[in-house]
Structure 1
Amino acid sequence: MTTAVMDAPQQETSPATSVHEKSVREMIAAARKAPAGPFGAWVLSLATGLLMWAAFTPLDWGPLGWVCLIPLLQLVRIPRPTGWMYTVLALNGTLFALATLQWMRLGDATMYPAWMALSVYVGLYFPAFVFLSRAAVHRFDIPILIATPVVWVGLEFLRAHLMTGFAWYYLAHSQHGWVTLIQICDLFGTYGLSFLLVMANTALAGLVPVRWLQALRLFPDHQPPTRGMLAAPFTRRLAAVTIPCLLLVASLVYGAVRRSQVEFEAGPRMALIQGNYPATVKSDPKEWADIYRTHMYLTGASIEHQPDVIVWPETMFRYPLLLADPEMTDAQLRAVSPFIPPERWRENDVEETVFDLAEQCNAALILGIDAHVTNPDRYAHYNSALLVEPGTGVRARYDKLHRVPFGEYIPLRESLPFLQKFTPYGDQFGLAAGEKIHVFNVESWRMVPLICYEDTVPHLVRNMVARTRDDDGRSVDCLVNLTNDGWFHGSSELDQHLITAAFRCVETRTPMVRAVNTGISAFIDGDGVVREPDVFVDGDALLEPEKSGPPRNGIRDPESGSYHRQLNAVLVSDVALDPRESLYVVWGDWFAAVCLAACLGILLLTPVSMYRARTSRG
């Protein structure tokens, strides 16, 4: 019997099966390309935001400045960005800024949009930092220990200049209480200390175990971490910690030496007059007489302590100074400034009043005042400081150079008039910018006035000090800051403003006095130390003894250690003159500028690198 062996029929692949297999392959390929989910980015960026917030005022836990970036830096370490990583970074950066800048909303209800807009802007520096750092490390093989501090400092420098600048809450500011350490700011500015802090954070971030990152789901499921995935071995990463440690030791040695090099000499004896008026009150002409009487009373209380100079805060001499070209006719005055009667321009009652005040005090006065100046071509309203001397009268006027957007002028108001709604001011609002730096000469002392937030702008103060040397190359003796912090109702803004101002003193090796409406008025020496004044007069105890309770005897609460604020007060002391020179004043911002140039180079070259990578794969 013959058995037939038949071959099994070959199966033909149908078009439907081919399409199915292709779709499966595409799904597998897509899955292999899919990034990790955004969970880890949320956790890490929230952690950094919380730690940074705690490092600054009001908590002011300065040691956190050495570790606050460790969570964020894990997003630089990992080989691939997570899903939605940069969006998450922007959102959490904005949350950090909203919490940190919450004091902005206290000024006026109309400031809420400005608070939110500034918070979004500041929040964008989180994703910018991570993006540029990742590009430097993963595309251009720059060591992370160098890349991250360079990028951070470059972005801080950019923030100090972009859109008139916002040089607040630099990482270095968290170290204001470590006086020996902050002395390095006279070399590279505050940026040098920020560089050191970011380098230390980066070195410590490298010690975080990979399994912790895996627990945070920072790696795709199909690409579990392998040995060596995060670059250098642990021993090398541990050794990297020694670099910031050595730099920290060198910085402390430098700081100790610099502080030992000086014995401060007594300079002019100055009295700082501190009123206590909410900023909204000063705009009401009905309140001007009360504001004037209070400041006169406090000024009188200072005279027995024989000051050489008496300083009133920003715009606290409420009666405006009107200066017009004497050749202008009434018709011209009406045409240029229709809201001021022509006869007011011809009066000189303010000049006479301040001259009489200087005569009564037998001391020079530096007064914060509104100055209105007109000529046939232009009317201008300035935020000014006025120098008045007995026997002479008005000697000099400084008009504020650096204006605050939305606080003192409205950018693009002519093109975008709706922006007016984002300020608490009327249609006539808008301050003109001053044109030059002024030196106030009082006897043999030379002083540079600063108004409002000008003491927070590093390059502005540095340029003022550098450009006002006398013929012998001698720097000015003192910076005089006139400020009105009455917008912020005793919030952490007052502390942060003072902290930021103190860094200007270290950078320029120039002492500063600050007369601040509502506080915190202060004498700051060239080491950035806020000094207890020789005399502290509790003005509330003088003006309303039945309401004030026991008089306060110093600038700080002895129990909490916090500064007194929202009170009337007089501070009198000798300015601590500082003969030391500052290399930062000589060199300028070259260090931070180089860091910013590196950031721009990374930004420009990254698309080129991405294009080359795609073409090489294709």
Structure 2
Amino acid sequence: MRLTRYLLALVSGFALTFAYPRWNVGLLAWLWIFPVLYALWSNRLFSLERKKSRVRHGFKVGYAAGLAFFVPNLAWVRHSSRVVHGAIGNEWMGWGPELMGMGAVLGLSLYLSLYWGLWGSFAATIARPRISADGLPTDGDSGKLFSVSLESLRSAFLTGAMWVACEWLRGIVMTGFGWNGLGVALHSNIAMIQSADLVGVTGLSFLPVFVAAIGYNTVLRFRQEIRTSRVRPHADFFLAICLLLTNFGYGVYQLSRPSGESVRLNLLMVQLNLPQGEKFLARGTGEGVEEIYHGLARLTELFVTRPSENKPDLVIWPESALPYRFHDPNHIPFLNDVLGMGDFSLLTGTDIELPNEAMYTGAALMKGTFDHHQLYQKIHLVPFGEYLPLREIPLVRAALGNVLPGDFQPGTSTEPLLLDRPSGVQLIPLVCFEDTVGRLARKFVREAPQLIVNLTNDGWFLQSEENEVHLANAIFRSIELRRPMARACNTGVTCVIDAQGRIPKGAKLLDRKGSVFTKGVLDQQVKIEKKPELTFYARFGDLFSIIMLSLCGLTIAGKFILSRKQKTAPAETASGANTK
């Protein structure tokens, strides 16, 4: 029986992997969970387990499902170690780099699966449906007309709430890694994800889990009704259908709602498709620096000097586009030459070192000359990429200190950058994977015309699915905040996303074969609302997820207090009897 549980868990976790890029089988976001629910809830598999044992085995089942999901889902992480050692493709890099990359995948998966294990313990105990397939009275079904529907709703709600709570915790604990939550699996169903402007992408995860749990309970109830020949109202099922239709209807409304008065911004985004190894070489030895300068300047000049009425207002280069730190004298003349090509602003990713300050990575917005610039210092740093966690521990320093000899420091300012033209337009600068962190992006939102701009370099992961995975996580920032986004990437995906999370036709840089891994430019005109709304999510953030976490915490506390009272009551009764 125990082996069956874990096999079902592995099937569920592995199946969910196919809902994300590269496969994008969106239907699996709704179906993957049924095997693991059976493993957690079936009387055949858990009938002999005591309550304490259910907590432990529920954790193991959830943890197994998590591993089956995260190991293949995060397989692209291994390339970062290989790239550090010079990989430009899938060539073998030696046991050291290959094992380090595989260890990174496994270590991250082992940690992230803990949250699935917590969910499994909760689902196998507190959220477990107290419904008998034989129609026998239970704590959740007293035999009344709607009692079994209410029990089904209780079970499904708590199961969905705990899933949301665990995903939210996963995104904040130890700086957080919230990629590929269940809500992201819905990315291709554009109507169903519009409610992210209310609950955030983490809150979207509630609906698939809730609906699946109701579906499971409905099958259980059908078995009960066949055996007892007694049919009772399926209020839980109809409520789940109503919730689905309401969410879909809200999405259709948002997609069809006319936009307000807008300002037009002409964009030019440059993608060099530069291997990370060449960036390392340029910074370390200076070799290839001129080629980088020439590539950026030539692709920019082709468009900013063309005879056209729609010349760019803003040119965007990706993260770490410049081979040296921003204030390095080597590239100041180069930037002045580029800015002198026309009347436009230039936004580029760069490392920033100011006098008497720490080292930062971030972005610089310039207009006219190098001296006329605004800086953004990146706030959410990448662990093991931009800083080494627990560096002070000797074992960590000895193992990884040579790979990452120094740390960037996080910035603190969440003030948008301001464009000179069109006047009043603000930029929300998000560097690297900051465009996957909703709680950060919302802090930049103002009641003004705004464009989210992501500067990233996904060249660390070669030509894997990571580029598309990053994009699938990023589109939710546009929906949550109702702001369009421009993404300028070194190796793709360079694109424009509208305020509903859609990529308009022609707004994605591709080569003739449809690949995002190409050198070129994307020339686009973006409409930005002059008076955009402040969404519920922009105002209150992950309030829905925090409420779900609080409710689950209160439920656990209530169960703990009740169990303590039940344990002490017999002892007090026995003591009273002995006294008499």
Give TM-score scaled by structure 1 length. 0.76
Distance (Å, rounded) in 2 between the aligned partners of 1:233 and 1:582? 50
Counterpart residue identity of residue 353, structure 2? H
Alignment of 1:32-431 (within 5 A): 37-78=1-42, 80=46, 81=49, 84-108=57-81, 109=97, 110-137=100-127, 143-208=154-219, 238-263=234-259, 265=262, 267-285=264-282, 286-303=287-304, 304=306, 306-322=311-327, 348-375=329-356, 379-390=357-368, 393-416=371-394, 418-419=396-397, 421-422=399-400, 425-427=403-405, 429-431=406-408
Counterpart residue identity of residue 202, structure 1? A
- Higher mean alpha-carbon deviation, 108-117 vs 158-167, is at 108-117
8 Å CA contact retained: 1:386, 1:394 = no
In structure 2, which of residues 387, 408, 418 is the aligned counterpart of residue 441 of structure 1?
418
Counterpart residue identity of residue 408, structure 2? L
**Displacement of 1:498:** 0.5
SS in structure 1 of the partner of residue 388 of structure 2: coil
Counterpart residue identity of residue 460, structure 1? L
Within the alignment, does 1:457 sit opposite 2:437 as a pair?
A: yes
Number of the residue aligned with 2:554: 601
Distance (Å, rounded) in 2 between the aligned partners of 1:38 and 1:111? 32
8 Å CA contact retained: 1:200, 1:244 = yes
Deviation track 1:20-70 (CA, whole Å, cap 9, x = no partner) reads: xxxxxxxxxxxxxxxxx3123112211211221111122110111111111
SS in structure 2 of the partner of residue 137 of structure 1: coil
8 Å CA contact retained: 2:59, 2:117 = yes
**Displacement of 1:88:** 4.3
Number of the residue aligned with 1:583: 536
Distance (Å, rounded) in 1 between the aligned partners of 2:218 and 2:253? 33
SS in structure 2 of the partner of residue 115 of structure 1: helix
Distance (Å, rounded) in 1 between the aligned partners of 2:317 and 2:204? 33
**Displacement of 1:296:** 1.9
SS in structure 1 of the partner of residue 492 of structure 2: coil
SS in structure 2 of the partner of residue 567 of structure 1: coil
**Displacement of 1:426:** 4.2
8 Å CA contact retained: 2:6, 2:64 = no
Number of the residue aligned with 1:31: none
Go from structure 1 to structure 2 and tell me whether the alpha carbon gap of 1:41 and 1:380 turns closer, same or farther (over 3 Å shift). Answer: same
Distance (Å, rounded) in 1 between the aligned partners of 2:392 and 2:256? 54
Go from structure 1 to structure 2 and tell me whether the alpha carbon gap of 1:236 and 1:530 turns closer, same or farther (over 3 Å shift). Answer: farther
Deviation track 1:569-612 (CA, whole Å, cap 9, x = no partner) reads: 20011123243441211232211101112233344444444444
Distance (Å, rounded) in 2 between the aligned partners of 1:463 and 1:236? 49
SS in structure 2 of the partner of residue 566 of structure 1: coil
Counterpart residue identity of residue 321, structure 2? M
RMSD: 2.9
8 Å CA contact retained: 2:78, 2:105 = yes
Number of the residue aligned with 1:224: none
**Displacement of 1:518:** 0.6
Go from structure 1 to structure 2 and tell me whether the alpha carbon gap of 1:131 and 1:233 turns closer, same or farther (over 3 Å shift). Answer: farther
SS in structure 2 of the partner of residue 394 of structure 1: strand
Distance (Å, rounded) in 1 between the aligned partners of 2:479 and 2:12? 28
Distance (Å, rounded) in 2 between the aligned partners of 1:241 and 1:205? 10
Distance (Å, rounded) in 2 between the aligned partners of 1:513 and 1:272? 8
SS in structure 2 of the partner of residue 127 of structure 1: helix
Counterpart residue identity of residue 353, structure 1? F
Runs of 5+ unmatched residues, structure 2: 82-96, 131-138, 141-150, 572-580
Distance (Å, rounded) in 1 between the aligned partners of 2:378 and 2:449? 18
SS in structure 2 of the partner of residue 133 of structure 1: helix
Deviation track 1:213-255 (CA, whole Å, cap 9, x = no partner) reads: xxxxxxxxxxxxxx69x9x999558542222211111112212
Go from structure 1 to structure 2 and tell me whether the alpha carbon gap of 1:385 and 1:301 turns closer, same or farther (over 3 Å shift). Answer: same
8 Å CA contact retained: 1:188, 1:584 = yes
Give TM-score scaled by structure 2 length. 0.81
Distance (Å, rounded) in 1 between the aligned partners of 2:398 and 2:317? 30
Distance (Å, rounded) in 2 between the aligned partners of 1:158 and 1:438? 26
**Displacement of 1:134:** 3.3
SS in structure 2 of the partner of residue 151 of structure 1: helix
Go from structure 1 to structure 2 and tell me whether the alpha carbon gap of 1:498 and 1:176 turns closer, same or farther (over 3 Å shift). Answer: same
Within the alignment, does 1:479 sit opposite 2:459 as a pair?
A: no
**Displacement of 1:96:** 1.7
Number of the residue aligned with 2:93: none
**Displacement of 1:321:** 2.2
Go from structure 1 to structure 2 and tell me whether the alpha carbon gap of 1:43 and 1:233 turns closer, same or farther (over 3 Å shift). Answer: farther
Larger Rg: 1
Distance (Å, rounded) in 2 between the aligned partners of 1:242 and 1:313? 49
**Displacement of 1:483:** 0.2
How many residues matched?
Answer: 509
8 Å CA contact retained: 1:355, 1:394 = no
- Higher mean alpha-carbon deviation, 147-156 vs 600-609, is at 600-609
SS in structure 2 of the partner of residue 56 of structure 1: coil
SS in structure 2 of the partner of residue 128 of structure 1: helix
**Displacement of 1:413:** 0.4
Counterpart residue identity of residue 115, structure 1? V
Distance (Å, rounded) in 2 between the aligned partners of 1:111 and 1:236? 55
**Displacement of 1:98:** 0.7
SS in structure 2 of the partner of residue 189 of structure 1: helix
**Displacement of 1:150:** 0.7
Go from structure 1 to structure 2 and tell me whether the alpha carbon gap of 1:267 and 1:136 turns closer, same or farther (over 3 Å shift). Answer: farther
Deviation track 1:323-351 (CA, whole Å, cap 9, x = no partner) reads: xxxxxxxxxxxxxxxxxxxxxxxx74434
Go from structure 1 to structure 2 and tell me whether the alpha carbon gap of 1:420 and 1:367 turns closer, same or farther (over 3 Å shift). Answer: farther
Go from structure 1 to structure 2 and tell me whether the alpha carbon gap of 1:565 and 1:439 turns closer, same or farther (over 3 Å shift). Answer: same
8 Å CA contact retained: 2:10, 2:64 = no
Number of the residue aligned with 1:330: none
Deviation track 1:549-573 (CA, whole Å, cap 9, x = no partner) reads: xx63xxx82xxxxxx2221120011
Distance (Å, rounded) in 1 between the aligned partners of 2:274 and 2:349? 14
- Higher mean alpha-carbon deviation, 53-62 vs 354-363, is at 354-363
Number of the residue aligned with 1:548: none
SS in structure 1 of the partner of residue 18 of structure 2: helix
Go from structure 1 to structure 2 and tell me whether the alpha carbon gap of 1:248 and 1:278 turns closer, same or farther (over 3 Å shift). Answer: same
Number of the residue aligned with 1:343: none
**Displacement of 1:159:** 1.1
